[in-house]
A = this chain, B = another copy of it.
Amino acid sequence: LSFATDTAVTAAADGEFAAEIRPGWDVVGNANGGYLMAIAARAMAPAARPDPISITAHFLSPGRPGPVIVGAETVKEGRSYTTVRCTLRADRPVLTVLGTFGDLSEPVDAPERVDAAPPDLPPPDDCVRVVPSESGFPPPMMDNLDLRIHPHDATFAVGEPSGRPMFRGWLRFEGEQMDTVGLLLAVDSFPPTIFNAHLPVAWTPTLELTTHVRARPAPGWLRCQFTTRFITGGMLEEDGEVWDSTGRLVAQSRQLALLPRGS
């Protein structure tokens, strides 16, 4: 698996792009939502504005391995940003996306203030590495993603959820530097927070996922935290923060996921 190769798109006719959902990025047959957003972002991003500043996807049907078409349409090209919408489809629409792209290559001269800190984590080698299982969960993409979960959050895997719907951990690609499109996968690469709640819920499909990219990540490990505060009305949010090796916030995310009714 190579993230750069496996999210590549090829310009086709009429402003459309051809791409392929590659095997290995799925969870028991359904492609990871962040991976699908990354394919969409490759098609949406103008050459001079490669960074997704804010990008939202609504998920319409499962993405299965195989060829897909991305129809991208520029809504506005402004002085600093370009806004693009697209739908990625196979035999039916898989996800529809709205994003604004810019260029984060230069530092910005503006006031800063941060009322938060990256999660406090033991060193990566003292965390629990997530490795693929033949059952399909953890998924095969964990060969490409080096994901180390905080030991306090990792005992769900042996049937002992922490009781807090939260995951913290380290993340990096194996053998690839992560770009801002990679962050779209990063924010969707941890287990669902609900796995650590004491609730009888096995699966929470994502209705919508929004990611804000604040900066290009420096080389090295990312520190990540995902938390849920509101499981209400048959829905839950999952808030993500991703910090790079310099201690800088590089991405913030929120997804809205659905609980099975009557569960």
Contacts and interface: CB of A to CB of B under 8 A. Distances in A.
A115 interface: yes
Interface residues of A, number: 60
A112 B231 contact: yes
Interface string A100-116: 10001000111111111
Given A56-B98, A96-B85, A200-B111, A233 B210 contact: no
A94 to B, nearest CB: 10
Interface in A47-102: 53-54, 56, 58, 60-61, 75-76, 78, 81, 83, 85, 87, 93, 96-100
Contacts of A54: 58, 207-208, 256
A213 to B, nearest CB: 9
Contact of A83 (B76, B96, B165, B233): B96
Interface string A197-231: 10111000001101010110000000000001111
A15 interface: no
Interface stretch (A35-43, A141-149, A154-162, A246-254): A246-254
A214 B231 contact: no
B87 A75 contact: yes
Nearest to A260: B110
A230 B116 contact: yes
B58 A210 contact: no
A77 to B, nearest CB: 10
A29 interface: no
A73 to B, nearest CB: 10
